[in-house]
Amino acid sequence: MFKDIKLSEGRPYYLQIKDYVKKLILNGVYVKDDKLPSTRELSSILNVSRNTVVEAYRYLEDEGFIKNVPNKGAFVSYSAINNNENYFIKWDDKITNYALLADELDTYKHDIRWEKGMISFKSISPDDRLFDIEDFKKAFLNRIAIEERKILNYGYAKGYKPLIDYLLKYMENKGVNIINKDIIITNGFTEGFDIVLSALVNRGDRIICENPTHNTAIKIMKLHGLDIKGIEIYEDGINTKVLKEELTKKGAKLIFLIPSYHNPTGIIMSPEKRIEVYNIVKEFNIPIIEDGFNEELRYSGSHISPIAAFSGSGNGVIYIGSFSKVLFPGIRIGWILADKDLIYYFESIKRSRNIHTSFLDQAILYEYLSVGNFEKYINKVRKVYKEKYEWTINCIKKYIPYKRLLGEGGLHVFIELDGIKSREVLSESIKKGVIFTPGDIFYTDGKGENSLRIGFSRVDYEDIEKGIKILGDVIKNKRKGD
Amino acid sequence: MFKDIKLSEGRPYYLQIKDYVKKLILNGVYVKDDKLPSTRELSSILNVSRNTVVEAYRYLEDEGFIKNVPNKGAFVSYSAINNNENYFIKWDDKITNYALLADELDTYKHDIRWEKGMISFKSISPDDRLFDIEDFKKAFLNRIAIEERKILNYGYAKGYKPLIDYLLKYMENKGVNIINKDIIITNGFTEGFDIVLSALVNRGDRIICENPTHNTAIKIMKLHGLDIKGIEIYEDGINTKVLKEELTKKGAKLIFLIPSYHNPTGIIMSPEKRIEVYNIVKEFNIPIIEDGFNEELRYSGSHISPIAAFSGSGNGVIYIGSFSKVLFPGIRIGWILADKDLIYYFESIKRSRNIHTSFLDQAILYEYLSVGNFEKYINKVRKVYKEKYEWTINCIKKYIPYKRLLGEGGLHVFIELDGIKSREVLSESIKKGVIFTPGDIFYTDGKGENSLRIGFSRVDYEDIEKGIKILGDVIKNKRKGD
């Protein structure tokens, strides 16, 4: 006993000794009323100061495991109760269909994973080497100096007031009329979309979206049991003729759109089409959910207002925004801007799910944004990503025989091949160390087997060329094989 | 124009000027091809350096609103499209029953709110004046020095590995057998409980819990459409006779228990009863959800192991833990410890809800815990809260004619009055500036009208006495009135 204890750095010795003795008691090595070694004895065995052991014993007493009796020593005061009557549940019989579906649709879990040495075009996360960590640290220290301890206590379901006010102005600066609108802070787009669906749809309800569309959105819609109707998109956005027909024929409870740097295609819906879509949907009095995805990563051309800006004082557009696609995804902060009567309900749903989003993270983000860091950051990364985007486009043009190449900004491009299945390409390319996301997971109708998404944000120039050349070779070989 | 611009401190001037011009363009004051004032002109109007205006114009160009033409000036390049075709949705017709129920059960929203000058016994949050902010800052700076930028990028749904490993050891130190167990990090208890229910129950399923029980748990169970059967509790825990009868008669899909410092009663289930409950449930092969609520705030007596510790190598107990009831609730970190086969499903549900809990917060918390700050903190606050708890108990004994007074630890006590309705007491006491939580919201069957919960953690000594005396007077007056 006490011979096998290994004291390591980092955690104070007295806590390590406390943990060790606790384990002996919990495992029944020491039982009630047993006397522990004296502090002098133990300090000599462990080669630590006597005070360290005294401190360890004090904590053990504090936690209710021992009793220190003056002049007599330390005695165990805890009776371990042994209960060897275990039982085992077969979870397979208990798991809900909801959980089974969540697992089945969990592409992260089931897809090919990156391994060391691979070139991966799967990620569309920002390159964290571009994060300005010093500005972030400054934001933390400044804000905590202002808010002090209270920022670490409970906050409000709607969010941190200064951040909400900042975002309202931010949306106003995109041309959105914020009168009678309000904002709730969410844990990223994912939670925002989930909350909106919880408030507005029941199982079996019909929802219209672009086809293809964001695979996480498809997952959430399926988990809500929705009847999903995807409508094809052209280079300037959704097919409005079909949209109108579908609405006339069968209606819909909601429309979900990603007008900017659409995931996965990278298409930007033109201003004219945004208005056209808005006016069609208006006729049917249906809410539009607009995903503001990567709106900030415009590389050329003039500013395009979100659909929310075209709705003026109307209340039909629910805008879900998130910085976390370009900035600090790890802190998971997004928001919903909508009619304040709707935010009223979203607030209660949010509270029932997780009380609120981390107030510390909201406060740091607010401080970071308010002093102009975001503009500075976007200005920097836009240049970096634009060059990488152009490099990627050029490599694809050089090496890959594609049918269609899409993507006007953001952190990814989309390729349609001519009669070649992208999953077959993947099973070859992975042997050569190159992976990407097959396009079929973005389709609402099981199509898209000839397409693939190439995320370039975290891949270096050399690897982009190398990886795309490998993909090109695999594809060319497949063509010859036909 | 430009006369009404008010430059304030904090945000760089060039961004404030940028925002101002942007608004003029978005509102159609400037239209496409309009020439903006020269940088020299504007700098003189605004009394800022010319460089500031140059920088503002550079950002405007960057965002696609203007075009800077060398030697000619800055021209608007954005065409505002006016669309006055608004539409309005009547949300009342669209809101789901789920959202209506979330609103209805949102006690925070509908209950009496604290106003300045009031003495409030509603809160059971920790007193943030006890948080050691310097240790927290140190944890932030140390961890960010280790992890750097990557901690701000995407993480994993299960959580931050070092924190998970720390918590597994932490649970082992409570006597829990962690073989074949795993942990997932959640946004507090609330999300943990919601995820467990999503994985294991369908609408209409029966769940057994203590009566009264945590009101947030009742809300979540109701939102899942469960058939809730609450069983009365004695001073040593749930009525096991009724538990056995209920299980025999009608069974249950799950049992939800708060064995330590039960919310709202503050009762601790005795070790013998924990074993008894465990062995009864075992016979029926039903999962137990154990809420580890405030387990750390034991004020006297020896350590009591969680029910999870009595299940040995069995897999029937799902333990939901959270530091955030005593430490930093604002960062919302909790965890579920369960059979790893279950965590496998929880992980996919978590990912579908919000990808993951803030990795920054998890990393700071890990650093804070690993160097022994939690033990230090608990050691400090336990003394403070114990004294306050005793003071509260004494005040109640002195001033309030109660039928039963419950609560052996934690941050609250529970009072049952003799034939007096607590809501009637509240409508009188609020006039005198004292509020508390009526007990009925904790009951699964609409009972508890004579009970109230007194949270004392954030109330000062003087106010505790003053507030309880006022409550006592109101109650005595009511008795006379009968």
Per residue in A250-274, pLDDT (tens digit) is: 999 999 999 988 999 999 999 999 9
- pLDDT bin (cut points 50, 70, 90) of residue A452 is very high
From A320's Cα to the closest Cα of chain B, the distance in A is 14
What is the number of alpha carbons within 13 Å of residue A282 lying toward its C-beta? 20
- Is A287 at the interface with chain B, CB within 8 A? yes
Residue B386 has pLDDT above 80, yes or no: yes
Specify the pLDDT at position A2: 80
Residue A318 has pLDDT above 90, yes or no: yes
Q: What is the pLDDT of residues A10-46, one digit of tens each?
A: 899 999 999 999 989 988 889 999 999 999 999 999 9
Contact A316 B77 (CB under 8 A): no
Residues 6+ apart with CB under 8 A from B92: none
Residue B80 has pLDDT above 80, yes or no: no
Mean pLDDT of B454-470: 97
Q: What is the pLDDT of residues A89-101, one digit of tens each?
A: 999 999 999 999 9
Give φ, ψ of B432 to 5 degrees.
-100, 10
Query: pLDDT over 90 for what percent of chain A?
Result: 84
Residue A450 has pLDDT above 70, yes or no: yes
- pLDDT bin (cut points 50, 70, 90) of residue B205 is very high
Q: What is the pLDDT of residues B140-175, one digit of tens each?
A: 999 999 999 999 999 999 999 999 999 999 999 888
Q: Which two tokens stand for residue A240?
A: 């409005």
Query: Which of B26, B150, B174 lies nearest to residue A128, judging by beta carbons?
Result: B150
Residue B482 has pLDDT above 70, yes or no: no
Contacts of residue A253 in chain B, CB cutoff 8 Å?
94
- pLDDT bin (cut points 50, 70, 90) of residue B28 is confident
Q: What is the pLDDT of residues B99-120, one digit of tens each?
A: 999 999 999 999 888 889 999 9
- Is A225 at the interface with chain B, CB within 8 A? no
Question: B374 to chain A: nearest residue by CA?
Answer: A15
Residue A133 CA to residue A364 CA, distance in Å, equals 12
Give φ, ψ of A318 to 5 degrees.
-105, 115
- pLDDT bin (cut points 50, 70, 90) of residue A354 is very high
Mean pLDDT score across all residues of chain A = 94
- Is B224 at the interface with chain A, CB within 8 A? no
Mean pLDDT of A334-360: 97
Most confident segment among A16-25, A73-82, B345-354: B345-354
Contact A352 B190 (CB under 8 A): yes
* Helix runs in A75-214, H state only: 97-104, 107-110, 133-147, 161-172, 188-200
**Whose structure tokens read 């709707």?**
A342
**Total Cβ atoms within 10 A of residue B78:** 23
**Total Cβ atoms within 10 A of residue B130:** 15
Contact A188 B355 (CB under 8 A): yes
- Is A180 at the interface with chain B, CB within 8 A? no
Contacts of residue B366 in chain A, CB cutoff 8 Å?
none
Q: What is the pLDDT of residues A126-169, one digit of tens each?
A: 999 999 999 999 999 999 999 999 999 999 999 999 999 999 99
Contacts of residue B216 in chain A, CB cutoff 8 Å?
352
From B48's Cα to the closest Cα of chain A, the distance in A is 18
Q: Higher-confidence residue: B253 or A26?
A: B253
Residues 6+ apart with CB under 8 A from A122: A111, A114, A435, A436, A437, A455
Residue B279 CA to residue B310 CA, distance in Å, equals 10
Specify the pLDDT at position A336: 98
Specify the pLDDT at position A482: 61
Give φ, ψ of A30 to 5 degrees.
-100, 135
Q: What is the pLDDT of residues B311-343, one digit of tens each?
A: 989 999 999 999 877 889 999 999 999 999 999
Mean pLDDT score across all residues of chain B = 94
Helix (H, G, I), strand (E, B) or coil at A76: strand
Specify the pLDDT at position A402: 97
Whether B355 and A188 have beta carbons less than 8 Å apart is answered as: yes
Question: A254 to chain B: nearest residue by CA?
Answer: B94
- Is A133 at the interface with chain B, CB within 8 A? yes
Q: What is the pLDDT of residues B398-434, one digit of tens each?
A: 999 999 999 988 899 999 999 999 999 999 999 999 9
**Whose structure tokens read 């403070």?**
B384
Q: If residue A69 lies in a helix (H) or strand (E), which one and from where to where?
A: strand A66-69
The answer to which of B30-34, B213-217, B353-357, B463-467 has the lowest mean pLDDT is: B30-34
Contacts of residue B339 in chain A, CB cutoff 8 Å?
89, 91
From B404's Cα to the closest Cα of chain A, the distance in A is 27
Window A:411-430, CB contacts with B under 8 Å = none
Q: What is the pLDDT of residues A373-404, one digit of tens each?
A: 999 999 899 999 999 999 999 999 999 999 99
Residue B82 has pLDDT above 90, yes or no: no
Contact B11 A275 (CB under 8 A): no
Q: What is the pLDDT of residues A2-14, one digit of tens each?
A: 878 888 888 999 9
Query: pLDDT over 70 for what percent of chain A?
Result: 100
Contact B361 A357 (CB under 8 A): no
Specify the pLDDT at position A316: 96
- Is B165 at the interface with chain A, CB within 8 A? no
CA angle A427, A431, A435 (to 5 degrees): 65
DSSP A200-240: H--TT-EEEEEES--HHHHHHHHHTT-EEEEEEEETTEE-H
Residue B301 has pLDDT above 90, yes or no: no
Window B:4-63, CB contacts with A under 8 Å = 10-12, 15, 18-19, 22-23, 26, 59, 62-63
Residue A241 has pLDDT above 70, yes or no: yes
Residue B137 CA to residue A153 CA, distance in Å, equals 15
Query: Which of B12, B202, B352 lies nearest to residue A372, judging by beta carbons?
Result: B12
Q: What angle do the packed helices B359-370 and B373-399 form, to 10 degrees?
A: 90
Residue B294 has pLDDT above 80, yes or no: no
Residues 6+ apart with CB under 8 A from A409: A260, A261, A266, A268, A294, A297, A298, A299, A300, A389
Buried residues in A97-128 as b, exposed as e (16+ CB within 10 A):
ebbebbbebbbeeeeeeeeeebbbbbbbbbbb
